[in-house]
Structure 1
Amino acid sequence: MGAASMRVQRTHQVGRAGVSWIEHLVTAELCWLFRPQDIADFGIDAHLEIVDGDPAEPTGRLLGVQIKSGSSYFKAPTDSGWWFPCSAEHVAYWLGHSLPVVVMLYDPVTKRVYWQHVNDQTIVNTGKGSKIHVPKSQELTADSTLDLSPLARSQSDVPAVSQWLADNADELQRKAFHELLLSARLQAMLPDCGILRREWEEFPRLTVRLASPVGSRLHSIMFDVEVVTSIFTAAVLIAKFGSGRRVAPLMIVVVDERPDDMPPNPSAPPVFVTPWSADGRYDESLRSTLDSVLMWCSGRDLKE
């Protein structure tokens, strides 16, 4: 057998080992159903069916899973996880799939599995393709049912959520909903950051912390984020906090408003305003504003 054939066989064995180990975890730890997709599939290796209730019964709610096995998938680490590179074709397929899709990475050395939900908030465009940050905190264990189960809602639930936001959700509910989605997007853009969500404080609701190199040392930087659902509210906050007296920068994120309608940034930072939408339309504006915030923080640190 040639060297190339041996490498192909070894890769296949590692791939099968990953699928088998994840099947074991799903059935033994999560107590869900695991259905391998043995017929050639472009980007889905298995379906998971949620089992719930007492007595436990299949719910008909499914997740599609893309499984990647091997040490090579752990060669792009961050402080809080790993980058998983993927093609534009795969991303389009996963986002357009009839099921919610989860990527799972299997480490054959440690026999640990880590996962990430594929959506507009977790995908980062690299120019040549895309990448998804898979966090260390999302290891596949029995406790994963709490995080994975809500993702497996049926497709018929999606318009219901949109209708609920439009018709029934009050201002605080809409704000909390968008804060959670924005937190996921910020984590994808700044994978080494930590995000604190203040449940009981009116303002600010989110604080982002991360380490930044300053000269030969690492310096911790911090900025606050406030999500608003109207330009009027953004203008009120700018008037209140745009005096330049804040120690930490404030980024005001205005949901579902056009960039051209944004109020101007105050002449005295550190208050920055950006539009943002959960469907990713204004990710460029969000990224540009993040860069401005980080640049301001780095300049202040250098002065100190």
Structure 2
Amino acid sequence: MKTRGNLVTERSGVNFVRGVVEATGSLFKEINLQHDFGQDATIVLVVDGHVRPREIALQIKSGATYVSEEYCFLPGTASHVFFWAEHDLTTLGVVYDPLEKTAWWIELQSAARDYRKSHPKSGTTFKFAKSLWNRFDNTDFVSVLVPTLLGEAPNVPLQRLCAWVNSTDVEAHDFGVRAIRAQYFREAEAWDCLIDAFKARPIENLTLSLPIALAKLLGHDDLGYYFGEIPNEVRAPAITKVLTFGPDEIAKLLSLLPEYDFERPSVGYSLMPLFGQRKESPEILATIQNDTKYDYTVREIAGQLLCWYQRDPRWWGFWRRDAKE
């Protein structure tokens, strides 16, 4: 009598996930196959020996069918997608690669909800990268996944986060920026990492998370850090570096805007400290507007901001972060 051909492969994935969860102190509860309708197990999160009131469901896949060199693939019928989107528990998809002997995860509930907005009655295969930040292993389960599920900042060393910020993997870059912004904003090395990355990376390898971090650094009533949160000996030199931004950096910021709105509470309004940061800002905008090396849309937005300055220079002065004369 033979077992199902894929049973050993399936169990290797479940056993790997169980091993990670239990080795790090959380509780793993496998669901009987008779009751498997899109979730293979649940996890009760335990931190430092204390049970947290948070239970997470898992859908686990294992084997060569579900992986490539760079990606994981998690299929689901229309019923599965509906189930993951609407279930009370957040469901994580975990795909185990038996050749690499590790796994990666995706937050299936959010992915399913996003998919159903445009495909309410069809199934799909969710494709996600084997990224630096979404590994399901003993280290990152504790330092990344559990804090993320609890709405807390990940506990990852700054040096490692800076490596993510400078990665060509845009998802890892974005995660690294947001983690530094939340956890290491009091450290000079963190701001050096973010500012240097913004200046060096091409536009296609940036997300809005980094400009928002810089706007928070400069100060903004809607999203800035509270007064005194960043030591002045850290904040002042970092601001000085941002104040050196010229036409290329400002044009890069403008190109990242998802919409061309600068009224509160738009993204453009959130980034105004970067656009109006110093006395020379209007001249920088004029340079962008008149230089054909920049994209037409970027030049047009620069012109709109310049007109705004000319109409209301007093209001514009509110955004200056240099020493006003």
- What TM-score results when the alignment is normalised by the length of structure 2? 0.48
- Tell me if 1:141 matches 2:137: yes
SS in 1 for 2:103: strand
CA–CA distance in structure 2, aligned partners of residues 209 and 26 of structure 1? 38
Q: 1:100 Cα deviation (Å)? A: 1.7
Tell me the equivalent position of 1:92. 82
CA–CA distance in structure 1, aligned partners of residues 265 and 81 of structure 2? 24
Find 1:62's aligned residue among 55, 78, 85: 55
Contact 2:81/2:112 (CA < 8 Å) preserved in 1?
A: no
Tell me the equivalent position of 2:110. 120
Tell me the equivalent position of 1:217. none
Contact 1:194/1:208 (CA < 8 Å) preserved in 2?
A: no
Aligned length: 211
Q: How has the CA–CA distance of structure 1 residues 151 and 37 changed in structure 2, closer, same or farther, with 3 Å as cutoff?
A: farther
- Tell me if 1:200 matches 2:201: no
Q: 1:46 Cα deviation (Å)? A: 0.4
- Tell me if 1:34 matches 2:51: no
Q: Report matched runs for 1:223-238 at 5 Å.
A: 225=208, 226-227=211-212
CA–CA distance in structure 1, aligned partners of residues 106 and 57 of structure 2? 12
Same amino acid, percent of matched pairs: 18
Contact 1:116/1:135 (CA < 8 Å) preserved in 2?
A: no
Q: 1:221 Cα deviation (Å)? A: 5.9
Which string of whole-angstrom CA distances, capped at 9 and with x for unpartnered residues, describes residues 281-304 of structure 1? xxxxxxxxxxxxxxxxxxxxxxxx
**Paired amino acid for 1:103:** G
**Structure number with higher strand proportion:** 1
CA–CA distance in structure 1, aligned partners of residues 148 and 173 of structure 2? 23
Contact 2:93/2:107 (CA < 8 Å) preserved in 1?
A: yes
SS in 1 for 2:38: coil
CA–CA distance in structure 1, aligned partners of residues 195 and 113 of structure 2? 26
Find 1:249's aligned residue among 252, 258, 282: 252
Tell me the equivalent position of 1:17. 12
Contact 2:95/2:105 (CA < 8 Å) preserved in 1?
A: yes
Contact 1:95/1:119 (CA < 8 Å) preserved in 2?
A: yes
Tell me the equivalent position of 1:45. 40
Contact 2:85/2:108 (CA < 8 Å) preserved in 1?
A: yes
Contact 2:72/2:95 (CA < 8 Å) preserved in 1?
A: no
CA–CA distance in structure 2, aligned partners of residues 206 and 88 of structure 1? 41
Q: Give the aligned CA root-mean-square deviation in angstroms.
A: 5.0
Q: 1:51 Cα deviation (Å)? A: 1.6
- What TM-score results when the alignment is normalised by the length of structure 1? 0.50
Contact 2:73/2:95 (CA < 8 Å) preserved in 1?
A: no
Q: 1:209 Cα deviation (Å)? A: 8.6
CA–CA distance in structure 2, aligned partners of residues 208 and 94 of structure 1? 40
Q: Which has the higher contact order (CA 8 A, sep 6+)?
A: 1
Contact 1:209/1:221 (CA < 8 Å) preserved in 2?
A: no
**Paired amino acid for 2:252:** P
Q: 1:204 Cα deviation (Å)? A: 7.2
Q: How has the CA–CA distance of structure 1 residues 62 and 32 changed in structure 2, closer, same or farther, with 3 Å as cutoff?
A: same
**Paired amino acid for 1:252:** L
SS in 2 for 1:67: strand
Which stretches in structure 1 are left out of the alignment for 5+ residues? Answer: 162-182, 212-219, 234-242, 259-265, 274-304
Which string of whole-angstrom CA distances, capped at 9 and with x for unpartnered residues, describes residues 4-42 of structure 1? xx7x81123321232123212221x21211100114232
